[in-house]
Amino acid sequence: MNPGLKLILMIILVLEISFIENLSLNVIIIIICLIYLLKKRPSSKQLVGLFLGPLIPAVGIFLSQMFYGNGGSLLAGVFATRIYAYVFLGACFTFSTNMTDLMKALEQSFHVPAKFVYGILSAFNLLPKVIQQIKVIRTASLMRGVKINFWSPKIYFKAILSALQWSQNLAEAMESHGFVEDQPRSQYHPIRLTQRDWSQFFAILVVFQGLVLILNSKFL
Amino acid sequence: MNNNRDHWSLRNIILITLIAIFCGVIFWGTGFLYTGLTLILTPFGLAPLANDILMGVWCMAGPLAGMVIKVPGSAFLGEFLGSAVEVFLGGQWGASAFISGLVQGIGSELGFTLTGYKHYNWLGITASVITTTIVTFGWDMIRNGYNHYDLGLLSLLFITRLVSTFIFSGIITVLVSKLLTRSSREE
């Protein structure tokens, strides 16, 4: 499916399950997502992460709802499984989409201006440099005997100084390579939004609404 | 500060994104803190409090971007992209971090909107702190079932979140922007 459309679908589903307090719904979503994810052949490390990552928050919210909530264990179960449903829905997106394709889809099919698409993409390419720079900032202040923490304004100040300089350099570099803001661009790697994408999108939504209707009328 | 900071230029978009990435990476290092806090609070049934304690830290990218690049929408974009860093780095929440980013972004931005994008000072920041707290708390009422708690616990969670947001998204953001103003004057 077109990555942009897939993201919109995921957001709709996540928002919708946030408003429906139904244990079976969450469990069914988790199972369907798991089947989809297994088809994508994730590594065992990814799978373990999927199950263990949300475990602590899920147990935490379960006990909290048991102790202080007014809905008992059933509702506690709803909120615990909801966390898993979020993570699994999110993983269905991340495991099957690469971010460059997502940004290109947003540009080509959803009319996000090119300066946003390429500006954001180019900045995200500096991610490893950003990680390195934060180490440099921390080490530099350690050399002067100052431990800099996430609550120190200085770390953000120095980070923004780097960001100011880098953004200028990057923008100039892009412009010198022929990037012109607000000008139409041709596509080397077109990403299509096909009729098939749209029919899949609506089919999933319709099936999901049916599921919600059935579950709400029979159980819970 | 700089004259060039008042429109959506390529450079400003890159700048907002970089600020978001820097914040995202700094918060990435605090992931252990969230897990630790949740673990400690779980036996008391207070695990959600960990969210509220750290909320201010997670919501810093928005007001920081809003203060540096004074364009309507910059706080939203900064906060939203800050959450995207987690998706890129492969965080435990996966793409569902986009949703939190949307909610937090709307919260951060609203404060500047309500003050008419004219008050890039304590007034704007305080408004942003309040809207961030209310919007994200409203979301947790639904998402994490806060609406099933009694008033006592709700107040504890709300006040904790307000204080956290005020310290990180408020005080620290203002301190950082003061440092920036001073440095640009000394240039």
pLDDT tens figures, A10-40: 999 999 999 999 999 999 999 999 999 999 8
A175 vs B: CB within 8 A: yes
- Residue B187 in domain: no
How confident is the model at residue B28, as a pLDDT?
Answer: 83
- H-assigned helices in B29-172: 31-41, 48-58, 61-68, 74-89, 97-114, 122-143, 151-165
Q: Is the pLDDT of residue B187 over 60?
A: no
Q: Quote the pLDDT of residue A216.
A: 80
Is a pLDDT exceeding 90 seen at residue A70? no
Grade residue B2 by pLDDT with cuts at 50, 70 and 90.
very low
Q: Are residues B68 and A179, on separate chains, in Cβ contact within 8 Å? A: no
- How far does the CA of residue B40 sit from the closest CA of chain A (Å)? 10
Q: Note the pLDDT of residue A201.
A: 95
d(CA A42, CA B81): 26
pLDDT at B186: 65
How large a percentage of chain A has pLDDT more than 90?
A: 70
What tokens does A205 get?
């939504």
Residues B73-102 pLDDT 10s = 999 999 999 998 888 787 777 777 889 999
Regarding an ipTM greater than 0.95, the answer is no
pLDDT for residue B8 is more than 50: yes
Average pLDDT over residues B141-165: 93
B114 domain-assigned:
yes
Which residues 61-100 in chain A show a CB within 8 A of chain B?
A: 61, 63-71, 75, 78-79, 82, 86-87, 89-91, 93-94, 99
User: Does residue B63 have a pLDDT over 60?
Assistant: yes
Q: Is A207 exposed, middle or buried (0-12, 13-18, 19+ CB in 10 A)?
A: exposed
Do A87 and B57 make contact, defined as CB atoms within 8 angstroms?
no
Residue B1 has a pLDDT of 36
Mean residue pLDDT of chain A comes to 91
Q: Tens of pLDDT along A74-128?
A: 899 999 999 999 999 999 998 888 888 999 999 999 999 999 999 999 999 999 9
pLDDT band at B3 (very low <50, low <70, confident <90, very high): very low
Q: Mean pLDDT, chain B, as a whole number?
A: 90
Quick one: A160 exposed, middle or buried, by C-beta within 10 A (0-12, 13-18, 19+)?
buried
Contact predicate B5/B12, CB 8 Å? yes
Say which of A71, A156, A170 has its CB closest to residue B14: A170
Higher-confidence residue: B67 or A189? B67
- pLDDT greater than 70 at residue A218: no
pLDDT of residue B176: 94
State residue A211's pLDDT score.
Answer: 92
The whole-angstrom separation of Cα A102 and Cα A88 is 19
Domain that holds residue B40: 3-182
CB A139 within 8 A of CB A37: no
Domain segments of chain A: what residues?
Answer: 3-101+194-218, 114-176
Secondary structure string (H, E, C) spanning A58-113: HHHHHHHHHHHCCCHHHHHHHHHHHHHHHHHHHHHHHCCCCHHHHHHHHHHHHCCC
Task: Inspect the interface and report whether the beta carbons of B15 and A54 lie closer than 8 Å.
Answer: no
Task: Indicate the residue of A61, A63, A66 with minimum beta-carbon distance to B144.
Answer: A61
Euclidean distance between CA atoms B87 and A102, whole angstroms: 13
pLDDT at residue A14, rounded to an integer = 92
Judged by phi (left if over 0) then psi (alpha if -120 to 50, else beta), residue A41 lies in left
Whether residue A66 is predicted with pLDDT greater than 70 in this model: the reply is yes
The mean pLDDT of B137-153, rounded to a whole number, is 92
Q: Are A215 and A22 in contact (CB under 8 A)?
A: yes
Instruction: Note every long-range contact of A199-203, with CB atoms under 8 Å and residues 24 or more positions apart, other chains counting.
Output: A200/A1, A201/A1, A201/A5, A201/A8, A201/A9
Chain A touched by B144 (CB under 8 Å):
yes
Distance CA A163, CA A172 (A): 14
Average of pLDDT values for B134-158? 93
* Residues of chain A contacting residue B80, judged by C-beta atoms under 8 Å apart: none
What is the number of domains present in chain B? 1
Nearest chain A CA: its distance from B142 CA (Å): 7
Joined tokens for residue A118: 């390429």
Q: Is A198 on the interface with B (CB under 8 A)?
A: no
